[in-house]
């Protein structure tokens, strides 16, 4: 399909900032029993995307990241098996630059870990559109299962919504069989009203590119290069956009909070918010991810604590 007609823009849905903030804060105050906590910790590991997006990235660094993605904590796994427990699950995906997708594909062959690649002029989103689309096609051709695109925030903040929507739809089309995550860079959008409209616009535009299955389209808070990013009120507003889109279309859109989630406690609060806003169907890596590599080691420490009855040292697990 080639997008040739203008995309109809979604209506604006104003956000009550005070109530959104109050409700978001409440999710971090839930009491979680030990059995539920261990389940949540393991689930969070399985939802994590490990990322390396630095100028010094090399094939060996990506191979190391892939090995950790497939087996996050081998020593802990041995202790868990000895105690009659299941090992720690592999993470959901690794995320790399397009030039390193082929390395990741070779290393991850035979595993369940997906390959995501940032494209479309990451992190600014301001490259010429034909270059961004070629970037997407090249990454998918090299084996990327998922594309993380960034919207042009300058165009969005200037009110050029039709332009932003058209670019999202054309990127979705260029993804072919790969799934698309649309990064809003919420730290630059200034208000929850803008976050809500950017969420609605991204979902609407991606769906306009053609039929989509559950989990084929995600919205994502941040590149990880801008703060604030995945704050609880921001994520709540984005979840509510997903909820309303599901009511309107029947399609389950995925969500990926990224940036600033560093502790297991914060991750569990996010999972509680997802469960109470969208329901249990979204508590699966197919529909919810954490873009927070630093988070993984705290999740592993907490799993070790529940298993051993004491905290692991910070250097017990290799940095992602």
Contacts of 138 (CB under 8 A, 6+ apart): 98
Among residues 49, 145, 148, 200, the one annotated as catalytic is 148
Tokens standing for residue 312? 């692991």
Among residues 68, 114, 172, 220, the one annotated as catalytic is 220
Tokens standing for residue 184? 């809003």
The helix/strand/coil state of 263 is: coil
205 domain residue, yes or no: yes
Q: Exposure pattern of 58-97 as b/e (b: 16+ CB <10 Å)?
A: eeeebbbbbebbbebbeebeeebeeeeeebbbbbbbbbbb
16 domain residue, yes or no: no
Contacts of 281 (CB under 8 A, 6+ apart): 252, 287
Among residues 68, 114, 172, 256, the one annotated as catalytic is 256
Q: How many domains does the chain have?
A: 1
Phi, psi of 288 (to 5 degrees): -145, 135
212 domain residue, yes or no: yes
Q: What is the 3-state secondary structure of 205-241? A: HHHHCCCCCCCCEEEECCCCCCCCCCCHHHHHHHHHH
Domain around 183: 60-65+90-290
pLDDT tens digits in sequence order for the chain, 320 residues long: 445 567 889 999 999 999 999 999 999 998 888 889 999 999 999 999 999 999 999 999 999 999 999 999 999 999 999 999 999 999 999 999 999 999 999 999 999 999 999 988 899 888 999 999 999 999 999 999 999 999 999 999 999 999 999 999 999 999 999 999 999 999 999 999 999 999 999 999 999 999 999 999 999 999 988 988 999 999 999 999 999 999 999 999 999 999 999 999 999 999 999 999 999 999 999 999 999 889 999 999 999 999 876 666 555 665 55
* Residue 85: active-site member: no
Global pTM value = 0.94
Let me know: does 313 contact 286? Beta carbons within 8 Å: no
The helix/strand/coil state of 116 is: strand
Q: What is the CATH number of the domain that holds 135?
A: 3.20.20.70
11 domain residue, yes or no: no
Tokens standing for residue 201? 């616009």
* Residue 148: active-site member: yes
* Residue 220: active-site member: yes
311 domain residue, yes or no: no
β-bridge mates for residue 218, sequence order: 181, 254
């Amino acid at each position: 399909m080639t997008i040739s007609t203008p995309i109809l823009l979604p209506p604006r849905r104003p956000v009550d900032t005070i109530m959104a903030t109050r409700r978001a804060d409440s999710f971090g105050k839930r009491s979680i029993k030990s059995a539920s906590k261990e389940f949540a910790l393991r689930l969070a590991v399985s939802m994590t995307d490990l990322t390396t997006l630095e100028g010094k990235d090399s094939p060996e660094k990506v191979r190391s990241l892939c090995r950790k993605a497939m087996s996050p904590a081998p020593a802990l796994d041995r202790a868990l098996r000895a105690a009659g427990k299941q090992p720690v699950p592999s993470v959901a995906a690794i995320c790399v630059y397009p030039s390193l997708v082929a390395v990741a594909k070779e290393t991850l062959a035979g595993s369940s870990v997906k390959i995501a690649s940032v494209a479309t002029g990451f992190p600014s989103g301001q490259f010429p559109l034909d270059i961004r689309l070629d970037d997407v096609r090249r990454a998918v051709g090299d084996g990327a299962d998922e594309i993380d695109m960034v919207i042009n925030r300058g165009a969005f903040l200037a009110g050029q919504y039709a332009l932003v929507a058209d670019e999202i739809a054309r990127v979705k089309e260029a993804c072919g069989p790969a799934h698309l995550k649309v990064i809003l860079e919420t730290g630059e959008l200034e208000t929850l009203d803008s976050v809500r409209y950017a969420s609605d616009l991204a979902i609407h535009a991606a769906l306009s590119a053609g039929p989509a299955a559950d989990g084929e389209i995600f919205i994502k808070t941040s590149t990880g290069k801008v703060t604030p990013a995945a704050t609880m009120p921001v994520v709540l507003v984005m979840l509510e956009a997903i909820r309303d889109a599901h009511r309107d279309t029947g399609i389950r859109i995925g969500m990926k909070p990224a940036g600033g989630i560093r502790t297991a406690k914060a991750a569990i609060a996010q999972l509680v918010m997802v469960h109470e806003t969208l329901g249990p169907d979204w508590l699966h890596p197919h529909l919810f991810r954490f873009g927070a590599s630093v988070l993984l080691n705290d999740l592993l420490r907490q799993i070790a604590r529940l298993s051993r009855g004491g905290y692991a040292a910070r250097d017990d697990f290799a940095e992602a």
